[in-house]
Amino acid sequence: MTTVGQSSVVKPASTPRREGRAERYPACGGFSDIIFLIDDSDSTKRNNPTDSDTVTYAQGVTSFVQHFVDKADLSNIRIAVVAYSKTTRVIADFTSNSSTISNAFNTFQPEFKGSDILEGMKLVKGMFQSSGRLGARHLVVLVTDGSTFNSNLAGDYAQRCQEAGIEITSVAFGDAISLQELMLYSKSSDRIFKVTNDTGLSALTPNVTEIICQDPCEGPLSLVDEPGLFRYPGNCAKFLQVAPVNQTGLVCVPKDCSYTTMWNDRLKICDYPGSATCDPCRGQVDGRRTSYHLYCNSYWECQGGVSQPRCCGSGKKYVEGGGCVAAGVSECPNPCPS
């Protein structure tokens, strides 16, 4: 019922997490929807070196986000950018088009009015609920340089986001926000990073990459430290096979479940969605759709809280948010799977 994935990694048994590992895996992979929630309060103003009468936004923040846009495998990853100060607004909605995000930054007009992380958290939670892809990892990277209005309320709402399956990583620069406050949002010291100024954010890209772009066989996942079959983070139609090799090592191989099936972690098999332990349609309304990662013309559709495989048909492809659209032979040459 399975086919072998594209890569495998050999590692010693019970290897601890290694700092800087992401430098060996510079690309940003996985099946994820990522929102960069960026602070544009007054403290992010910077003097314009070419015009003393104007100010600019902190360039280190835009460069930090642009790094992930440039490195992401945008065939599987969508990125959005949300700015918050006293109010919030979407700078770039979920997209797999790097030019769209870059152009959004080029026309970005900061508000420079206070800081309210609570409102930012409310907006990103709503975005994931309305247009986040089923089965994808839902990730927020909070980039801030200051304390917020009523941090306790913001922390409580961040907890609600995490209970809804949203992973939050906090990245801070400057001295105006404490590690204690950042802990309110991310809840784990492994997801909190801080540097002295915005230009230093670039030094954090390996750390953040390891969290949001992790290879499931190489990331900080304890499940690959012993032989067995395991769930694949962020994709219910895949799993991980970890086996002994060379007496003291382990080999980890991502594998795909066969068409129409999803992972059952209780039985350790690929099973029909109604019986599988992993089905993103549970609790979702009928009609919600998300792409099928193996086939360009196929998608999952929620019916009765269960994922049902669907195919657009010959000459069409499935586009996230757009449904079935016409496709050239070179774009989507595969017939509907059987």
Burial annotation 94-116 (CB, 10 A radius, 16+ → b, else e):
bbbeeeebeebbeebebbeeebb
Provide the token pair at 86: 């006293």
Tell me how far apart the alpha carbons of residues 195 and 213 are, in angstroms, rounded to a whole number: 21
Class of 1-18+219-277 in CATH: mainly beta
**How is residue 72 annotated by DSSP?**
B
With CA atoms as reference, report the closest residue to 29 among 296, 234, 261, 193: 234
Tell me how far apart the alpha carbons of residues 238 and 211 are, in angstroms, rounded to a whole number: 19
Residue 292: which residues within 8 A CB-CB, separation 6 or more?
Answer: 237, 298, 299, 300, 309, 318
Domain pair 1-18+219-277 / 26-212, same fold: no
pLDDT of 317 over the 50 cut: yes
Provide the token pair at 87: 């109010």
Query: What angle, rounded to 10 degrees, do the helices at 59-71 and 98-106 form?
Result: 170
**For range 121-147, the mean pLDDT:** 90
Tell me how far apart the alpha carbons of residues 159 and 127 are, in angstroms, rounded to a whole number: 17
Task: Say what the pLDDT of residue 219 is.
Answer: 52
Most confident of 18-27, 132-141, 163-172, 231-240: 163-172
The residue ranges of every structural domain in the chain are 1-18+219-277, 26-212, 280-338
Contact 51, 236 (CB under 8 A): no
> Between 3.40.50.410, 3.90.1150.10, 3.40.50.300, 3.40.1400.10, what CATH number should domain 26-212 receive?
3.40.50.410
Contact 130, 159 (CB under 8 A): no
**For range 35-57, the mean pLDDT:** 88
Task: Say what the pLDDT of residue 13 is.
Answer: 39
Which residue type sits at 104? A
Tell me how far apart the alpha carbons of residues 240 and 177 are, in angstroms, rounded to a whole number: 39
Q: Is 226 helix (H, G, I), strand (E, B) or coil?
A: coil
**For range 251-272, the mean pLDDT:** 90
Tell me how far apart the alpha carbons of residues 154 and 163 are, in angstroms, rounded to a whole number: 14
Tell me how far apart the alpha carbons of residues 23 and 249 are, in angstroms, rounded to a whole number: 22
39: β partners: 84
Task: Say what the pLDDT of residue 52 is.
Answer: 74
pLDDT per position as a tens digit, 53-98: 788 899 999 999 998 888 887 777 899 999 999 999 999 999 988 8
Tell me how far apart the alpha carbons of residues 257 and 273 are, in angstroms, rounded to a whole number: 11
pLDDT per position as a tens digit, 199-228: 999 999 888 887 887 666 765 444 456 789
Tell me how far apart the alpha carbons of residues 142 and 159 are, in angstroms, rounded to a whole number: 14
**For range 112-137, the mean pLDDT:** 89
pLDDT per position as a tens digit, 283-310: 888 998 888 878 889 999 999 999 999 9
Tell me how far apart the alpha carbons of residues 245 and 216 are, in angstroms, rounded to a whole number: 18
